Chains A and B, each alone.
Chain A
Amino acid sequence: MTRVRSKKSKTRKRGTRRRKPVAWDLRLYVAGTTAKSVTAFSNLKQICETHLGGKYRIEIVDLLRNPQLAQGDQIIAVPTLVRRLPQPVKKIIGDLSNTDRVLVGLDLKPARMTPAASQA
């Protein structure tokens, strides 16, 4: 499936470990190309572009192709976005349509603020 990288990183196959460290290492787990996974991906890209500048990497894991990763990475819901870096690891589930909550999940915004419209 599609691999999307920030402009700075180079093309590399999944699983190779010697990556250039980036500030934001994100993984989006999906199960095939579904409406939800497409929505999640486009939402994620938009949020990253807006809030993370170029300092991020998104890796998409299709669990239909790599089913063993569901157990290894403790995934039950899809889509699930995992923030691998910066630590600690965070999990954000759903199609990421609620930008506010995504930002809270990514620690870009303090939790439990006024449920007002997104300031993003």
Chain B
Amino acid sequence: MATKRLVKEMVGIGKEPTGIAGLDEVLFGGVPKGRNTLVVGGPGAGKTMLGLEFLLHGARDYGEPGVCMSFEEPAEQLIANSTSVGHNLRSLISSRKLLIDHVYIERKEIEETGEYDLEGLFIRLNQAIQRVNAKRVLLDTVEVLFAGLQNTATLRAELRRLFRWLTEKGMTTIITAETQPGTNSLTRYGLEEYVADCVIILDHRVNEQVSTRRLRVMKYRGSPHGTNEYPFLMESSGISVVPITSLGLTHKAGTERISSGVSGLDEMLGGRGFYRGSSVLISGTAGTGKSSFASFFANAACARGERCLYFAYEESPSQILRNMRSVGLDLEQWIKKGLLRIYAARPTSTGLEGHLAIIHKALTEFDPSVVVMDPITNLVSVGNLPAVKAMLTRLIDFLKLRDVTAVFTNLTLEGMVEKTAIGISSLMDSWVLLRDIETDADRRRMLYLLKSRGMAHSTKTVEFQLSDRGITLRGEKAGVVSLEKGRK
């Protein structure tokens, strides 16, 4: 990948991988080795967790023991909190790869009577570093000292000395700090003035009752870095960042074709189906059979022995299985064989970025060759159209890079066929339009291939039937009804 090449080309600044999924990619390799990184965020933004993961991965995966100097939470509390996100700090502590020192400071219990310095803190940290032979240090949140001590001038000078001292000792350090909204200063006590090598900002936003965590690298001295806001997740397996926007239009376009799962549709697609790695949109009004088409596509993939990931934003897995049985599909067998995985969630369960992060993670874990998202329309309910488009762009880039073929379904309203395609049509390689046509007392299902990039395809409107034998398309000539863009 371009990222790796760039990192290799860079001489001078060493990098230390954080080990956090996605973050190292955004940082083009990791945080600056032997230097200080400031992690800024509001309460609950995930600063401590990010810092602890940095230590955890260092101690466990990179042979670099770490010291956590916690100014807020006692060690026991930190251990308990990180257990809830799937980390076992205790075993690292007992094997002397990690040391947590809780610095307790309470202004009420301290009387200041003259000149002092923080040499005690230095000695303490030095002792901890020596004890585990640490290479990584986390100071979480050193700003607490400002609340505990009155002499701010001394404190500032000492903190500046502390950060320099850590660099001299070759420690790769993460320092957490609170944001100060509504001021020019990034952090409450202006720590960014002392820690200048790398600044990461964490954000926890709630938009229309839906929360999303985001991460941004504000500054990285001597190194390129991803500059966007990246969504990240904090869940049972820790933090993961989605660096999807760092990708571009660099994917290769193959010529391999895969079946749509419906032989009549394959016929219309030049007789060979979709390109592998392409993105397919199936749009249509309610009840036109979008999910069925998507399921047949999934079924065909599993029948070929490929893995399929099915994101359901409307129905529960069992509902999908039941409904698809009625059109002659046994999807359950693929689940049992481990070829099909259905991920069902309400769109409102998290923000768009959260969905993207979840999808990203699921894709990385399951490594499917085809993906179904049914329907993407529902995601609009948690974001506005530009946001949805941005998200889908990132998602599609990511899918294409992995050569994953994706089918998206999209609910359209009667008479607004193209408009409601939320401007995503340009992202799609193939577009299948489904419609109901009322003729006399009958409702006929029609299918129309609006576009399919890079292949000769049928331009006819074709009637199809959904039955327990599956989807059958009538002969192309039969039942042709005019169906023009945007007009009923």
Contact = CB atoms under 8 A, between A and B. Distances in A.
B112 interface: yes
B101 interface: yes
B115 A94 contact: yes
A104 B111 CA distance: 8
A76 B101 contact: no
A24 to B, nearest CB: 16
Contacts of A29: 120
- The interface centre, meaning the residue of A36, A71, A105 with most chain B CB atoms within 10 A of its CB, is A71
Nearest to A101: B113
A67 interface: yes
Contacts of B362: none
A77 B111 contact: no
Interface in A15-51: 29, 31, 36, 39-40, 43
B110 A68 contact: no
A92 B110 contact: yes
Interface residues of B, number: 24
A94 B121 contact: no
Nearest to A111: B111
Contacts of B112: 92-94, 98, 101
- The interface centre, meaning the residue of A39, A70, A80 with most chain B CB atoms within 10 A of its CB, is A70
Contacts of A98: 112-114
Contact of A94 (B103, B109, B113, B118): B113
Interface in B80-131: 101, 103-105, 109-121, 123-124, 126-128
A40 to B, nearest CB: 8
Contact of A93 (B103, B116, B124): B116
Nearest to A95: B114
Interface residues of A, number: 33
Contact of A101 (B111, B117, B126): B111
Contacts of A40: 114
B124 A36 contact: no
A76 B122 CA distance: 8
B321 interface: no
A63 B126 CA distance: 11
Given A67-B127, A68-B127, A70-B123, A77 B118 contact: yes
B113 A76 contact: no
Given A92-B111, A93-B110, A63 B119 contact: yes
A97 B114 contact: yes
Contacts of B113: 92-99, 101-102, 105
A112 to B, nearest CB: 12
A105 B111 contact: yes
Contacts of A67: 123-124, 126-127
A1 to B, nearest CB: 14
16 contacts: A31-B120, A31-B123, A36-B117, A67-B124, A70-B127, A74-B105, A76-B105, A76-B124, A77-B118, A91-B109, A92-B112, A94-B115, A95-B113, A97-B115, A102-B113, A105-B113
Interface of A: 29, 31, 36, 39-40, 43, 63-64, 67-68, 70-71, 74-80, 90-99, 101-102, 104-105
Given A67-B124, A76-B103, A93-B113, 4 more contacts: A63-B123, A67-B127, A77-B116, A94-B115
